[in-house]
Structure 1
Amino acid sequence: MAGKYIIDSLKLETVETLVIDETFLNFNNSNWPNSESNLTFEEQNSIIKKSFVDQKFGDGYISLSIVYIVFCISNFVAPGVVSVVGHKTTMFFAAASYLLYILSYLSPTPGFIYTASALNGLGAAFLWTAQGDFLHHQSGTEKLMARNTGIFWCIFQCSLLCGNIYIIFAWKGKKYVDTEMRTQIFTIFAILGAAGCGLLLTLKSQLCGLENRFKTKNEIESSKIRDFLNSVKNSFKLLFTKKMLFFAPLILFDGFFLGFYTGVYPTTVGNSKNLENASAAVGLCGLMTGVGGIIGGGIFVFGSKLLNRFSRVAIIFGNSILMITAMLLTLFNHPFSANIAATEEKPKVFGEVKRALVLFISFANGFCDAVYKNVIFSSITEGFEGQTSYAFALRQTPDHAQFAFS
């Protein structure tokens, strides 16, 4: 959620503290605007500095795009890879790709951060698929699977609370995220990430792979290769069925919405400098998104009897009204350029960024996402009976893909 904003903060800090060295002078001489430009010297100099910094650090949106492009493609082969490599090994090395991505923000050169983004996208597909199948094997019954998945989901959503509470206090009163703040938060994340990778190695998987205990080594290898090829073939085959093609627009929209509320909106909040303590508000935004997601998911768990009175179409329609309202309020409550760069501009409609609306929009984003995903999951389970593993793999996003192999 903070990736784009942190990269933008690094660029602002670098421009303010830029040292005129030989590297900058060479860039300046090669890129100075032509003499016919109507810009003043100060404006031209500002453009040159911004261009120099942009090519030095890359872009947070490009980084996130690479993560999800690679993640999307890798989902087609993830079930096969897990079946060949095994759960624990897959989870460890896939989780290590997250650790590498975290470390890239300590020194975010374009080459480092874009490479780490690609590896993170690859690891994400394998990690979520492997842990979903691991939960499935360890649970034994549908009742235990529901309980264990519920525990997993609650812990996972709490990450949005804990991390963003830290940001609210650590970034309060800051114009942007400076080097010290960035180093501090990603060092903490790296330590926690490394500990998490280590904990994965302690998991017991005694129930996994029992079907192979009476087979020879050659039979096991042949079976794994066959399973891998079949999983890839079946995923592509399902993608072009009539039922999936009709269902795809809702899945596609859910993906676009995910990109908005996890990347674009938090960046917009942080860049809206008309808002007091805009940097800390990024954490507040993430916190309320998490609360909305937890409440939205909880309604489907604890209020299932009430919701059963309504059709899925009615639920989607009502949820879409709330989402459209939140989108309109985003346009009214933030400067139009805030999703790209920090700005002191005021919103075109409301005149100033209202913190109460930031909280409401963030909550609505999390709530609407939870509703969309619950409807999509129940529809897949009912509409793709016998093909759910491939259907879930086709619609995977990192926050719910643990179901892809179960």
Structure 2
Amino acid sequence: MAKIKDSKKQFVQNINVGLMGISFFLIFTGFFTVGGIQTLVFDSAQIANSTGYVEGFHGDGLWSLGLCYAFFTLTNLISPSILALMGLRPSMFVGALTYVLFIVPLLYLNGIFLYISSSILGVGAAIFWTAQGKFLSLNSNEKTISRNTGIFYTMLQSSYCVGNVFVYFYFRGKSEIDKETRDIVSSVLLSVASLGSLLILLYRPTPWADKEEEDQTVYSALKDHAKFFFTIDMILLSFTFFYTGILLNLWSAVYGTCIGFTAAFGDERKGLTAISGMFVSVGEVLGGVIIGKLGSWTHKVGRSPIIISGFIFSALAFILGFINLPNESPLGETTLLQTALIDSNQYLVIIGSFLLGLADACIVTQCFSLMAGTFHQNTSSAFAIFHFMQGIASSLAFFYSSLLPLYWQLLIALISASLGTITFCYVEYKNRGKEVELKDEISAL
């Protein structure tokens, strides 16, 4: 009887992980793609002789994302309490709708609407991702957490590739983004994200965890969250979490913007931005697949080798960006006189994109795995702290992205990567023995 019960539970868990992967794939096909192209779209909308010109529009894509992550950061302070109040699946659905709302300003360009929707998304995203971490943990066990993390992350990051393939064919050969192209792209992305949100309604209940959720009040969730935030492990891991936000800013917005503004790439540079996004996604997906396959190996040797690999891939990507892209490229359209240290090369751009994706996959999957595995009793708080620190870093980075030259941004990223790698490895080493003992005890039962 117990075996039948366990088998049914595992079936529901597998269904939920699969549905979560598909819904996140659709939602983030919309969000990632919009985040990567909106600076280019808004730039065309503000050029008076452009076919995409919108009179009176002065929205800034990077500032929009910066505002989003600012609200995201603040809301993560209370997101476990909101989760306790609303419930797990309703929180995910409401959060998903804010991602849909974020795409709408691409159809109706209005600066005030853009910044309001970005702020609302920040609040919704904090609830959404805290709920996601808890839901992934509830639908995994000590044997499946690495596999499920790999599956989820692979499906999530595949969205970046699909969205950019679509954008590539519409942006190819265009030096500016006209209204018709903007409307078609935004309508498709809005529809896809809406479908992903609706799929959340199909998530299956998790009755094995319902009692625990009922017993947790809004106050107790806030109290436990505050207490956990100030533990030594979380303080140290905050450096790693902070770096994921810096890296997110680089691969999702800055790198593509630099490519799109580099005059040396000619009229194909807007299309090259989309190709770059595809290869970021290829790196993310390949990294997720490999890490998922290495689940049993990671169980034996720990997560540190993967984190260190992520640092190496990051450093290589930074070096390629440093030598291959003009220092002025994040600040606006460059001239042919504003050159990189070498002749800007499209193939090096693609390699750099791939390495950024691979690095992000290595680091984020291991953060997810550590939080859901080592800190399984405080999953909601762990994921909220992760996204709080990531949000601080992303918000700061999106605000300085259009103000600081590329070399300074890469230096900030390299310092953050170094600190984050060291602190993660220390916490992993410190908790490794405890986690193995817990898994052995569970296996013996």
TM-score (norm: length of structure 1):
0.76
Contact 1:6 1:177 in 2 (8 A): no
The equivalences for 1:148-187 within 5 A come to 150-187=150-187
- Are 1:262 and 2:294 an aligned pair? no
What SS does the aligned partner of 2:259 have? helix
Taking the aligned partners of 1:266 and 1:312, their CA distance within structure 2 comes to: 30
Q: Tell me what 1:93 maps to.
A: 94
Report the CA distance shift for 1:341/1:9 in structure 2 as closer, same or farther (over 3 A): farther
- Deviation, 1:249, is 1.6
Larger Rg over CA atoms: 1
Q: Provide, for residues 328-351 of structure 1, a one-character-per-residue CA deviation record: whole Å limited to 9, x for no partner.
A: 211211122211212233423113
Taking the aligned partners of 1:392 and 1:292, their CA distance within structure 2 comes to: 24
Unmatched runs of 5 consecutive residues or more in structure 2? 1-31, 392-445
What SS does the aligned partner of 2:331 have? coil
Q: Comparing both structures, which one devotes a greater share of its residues to helix?
A: 2
Which amino acid is the alignment partner of residue 42 of structure 2? L
Taking the aligned partners of 1:316 and 1:150, their CA distance within structure 2 comes to: 14
Unmatched runs of 5 consecutive residues or more in structure 1? 20-49, 214-219, 399-406
Taking the aligned partners of 1:304 and 1:126, their CA distance within structure 2 comes to: 28
Which amino acid is the alignment partner of residue 274 of structure 2? G
Taking the aligned partners of 2:111 and 2:128, their CA distance within structure 1 comes to: 25
Report the CA distance shift for 1:145/1:301 in structure 2 as closer, same or farther (over 3 A): closer
The equivalences for 1:100-139 within 5 A come to 100-137=101-138, 139=139
Q: How many residues align?
A: 354
Report the CA distance shift for 1:360/1:307 in structure 2 as closer, same or farther (over 3 A): farther
Q: Provide, for residues 52-98 of structure 1, a one-character-per-residue CA deviation record: whole Å limited to 9, x for no partner.
A: 98x83221111111111211222232222222222343222221111
- Deviation, 1:174, is 0.6
Which amino acid is the alignment partner of residue 104 of structure 1? P
Q: Tell me what 1:289 maps to.
A: 280
Taking the aligned partners of 1:88 and 1:373, their CA distance within structure 2 comes to: 23
More moved, 161-170 vs 233-242: 233-242
- Deviation, 1:243, is 2.7
Report sequence identity in percent: 27
More moved, 203-212 vs 262-271: 203-212
- Deviation, 1:377, is 3.7
TM-score (norm: length of structure 2):
0.70
- Are 1:370 and 2:370 an aligned pair? no
Q: Tell me what 1:350 maps to.
A: 342
Q: Provide, for residues 254-301 of structure 1, a one-character-per-residue CA deviation record: whole Å limited to 9, x for no partner.
A: 221111111111111111132141111121111111111122222322
Taking the aligned partners of 2:149 and 2:201, their CA distance within structure 1 comes to: 20
Taking the aligned partners of 1:204 and 1:303, their CA distance within structure 2 comes to: 28
- Deviation, 1:188, is 0.6
- Deviation, 1:135, is 4.8
| Of 321, 333, 356, the match for 2:312 | 321
More moved, 312-321 vs 240-249: 312-321
Contact 1:332 1:347 in 2 (8 A): no
- Are 1:243 and 2:233 an aligned pair? yes
- Deviation, 1:229, is 1.6
Q: Tell me what 1:15 maps to.
A: 47
Contact 1:97 1:123 in 2 (8 A): yes
The higher relative CO (CA closer than 8 Å, separation ≥ 6) is in 2
Report the CA distance shift for 1:315/1:87 in structure 2 as closer, same or farther (over 3 A): closer
Contact 1:5 1:271 in 2 (8 A): no
Report the CA distance shift for 1:105/1:201 in structure 2 as closer, same or farther (over 3 A): same
